Structure formats: C-alpha cells, structure tokens
C-alpha cells in the first residue's frame, strides 16, 4: 500500500524510489552472480603473486647459498692449486739438484778414469823407454867391448846415444 501511495502522489519521488530499488536489486544480482567469482579471481591472483614472490625469495636464497659454496670451493681450489705448484717447485729443485750431483759425480768418474789412463800410458812409455835405453846401453857396451875406445870413439858413441834418445 505504501508502494501505491508513493507512486500515485509524486511521480518523481516514485521514479527515484523505483530507481533505488532497481539499483539495490541490481547490486544484489551483481553480488550474487559477478562479485563472488571476481573476488575469487582476485584472491587467486593475489595468492599466485604471493607464491611467486615466496618462490623467488627461496630461489634467491638458494642462489646466494650456491654462490657462497662456489666461492668457498673456488678458494679451496686456489689453495690446493697453490700447494700443488709449491710442491712441484720443490720437487723440481730436488730433481735439479739430483741431476747436478749425478753430473758432477759422472765428471769426477770420467776425470779419474782419464787420470788412470794417463798414468797407465805414462808407465807404458816409461817401460818402453827403459827397454830402449837398456837396448841402447847393451849395444854401446858391445861396441865398446868389441873395439878399443879412443876419445873420439867415446864422443861419437855418446853422440849416437843422445841422437837415439832424440828419435824417441
């Protein structure tokens, strides 16, 4: 009845009331039909964004941890490489010293062998000279015994002996 009163008396007021009622009904329909799904979509979108941010933070933390581990591994590898290089240098010095000592020992051995060979050759030559001198002495003695020696013969024998020594 009040509805009739409002619409019969003042048409502008009735239109306003009817527009308001239509608007309220429209809002209720929109709330029922569109608002729920729209809010669900917005909530899902907010949840996805939150999940993406959380995932990104986790991945960033994992990346930073992996980077720290990689840096630690790199430092350890550098330390090990330095130790290996140092050990190789020490080993090369030892090998070098060993080679030098071996070379010195070989040179000394060769020098000693040369000395022994020179001494043996000297003894052999001395022995040959003694034999030659003995032979010459025997020849001189035979010549002296076979003939009478005069001063001139004696000089000639001595000169022949000296000349025989020069030929050696």
Say if residues 161 and 140 touch (Cβ distance below 8 Å): yes
pLDDT, position 1 = 39
- Expressed as residue numbers, the domain containing 64 is 2-167
pLDDT grade for 152, boundaries at 50, 70 and 90: confident
Q: What are 69's two structure tokens?
A: 């581990």
Distance CA 149, CA 143 (A): 9
90-146 tens-digit pLDDT? 999 999 999 999 999 999 999 999 999 999 998 898 888 878 887 777 777 777 666
Token pair 């010095």 is at which residue?
Answer: 93
- Categorize the per-residue pLDDT at 25 as very low, low, confident or very high, splitting at 50, 70 and 90: very high
The answer for residues whose C-beta is within 8 angstroms of residue 160's C-beta and 6 or more apart is 140
Looking at residue 16, what is its pLDDT? Answer: 92
Q: Are 147 and 153 in contact (CB under 8 A)?
A: yes
**Which one is predicted more confidently, 50 or 142?**
50
1: helix, strand or coil: coil
Q: Give how many domains the chain has, as a whole number.
A: 1
**pLDDT given for residue 7 in this prediction:** 46
């Amino acid at each position: 009845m009040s509805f009739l009163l409002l619409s019969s008396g003042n048409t502008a007021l009735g239109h306003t009331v009817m527009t308001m009622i239509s608007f309220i009904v429209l809002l209720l329909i929109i709330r029922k039909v569109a608002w729920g799904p729209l809010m669900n979509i917005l909530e899902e979108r907010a949840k996805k964004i939150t999940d993406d941010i959380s995932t990104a933070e986790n991945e960033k933390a994992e990346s930073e941890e992996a980077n720290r581990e990689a840096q630690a591994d790199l430092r350890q590898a550098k330390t090990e490489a330095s130790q290996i290089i140092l050990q190789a240098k020490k080993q090369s010095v030892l090998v070098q010293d060993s080679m030098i000592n071996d070379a010195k020992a070989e040179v000394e051995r060769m020098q000693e062998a040369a000395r022994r060979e020179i001494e043996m050759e000297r003894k052999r030559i001395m022995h040959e000279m003694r034999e030659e001198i003995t032979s010459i002495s025997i020849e001189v003695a035979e010549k002296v015994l076979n003939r009478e020696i005069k001063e001139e013969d004696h000089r000639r024998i001595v000169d022949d002996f000296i000349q025989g020594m020069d030929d050696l």
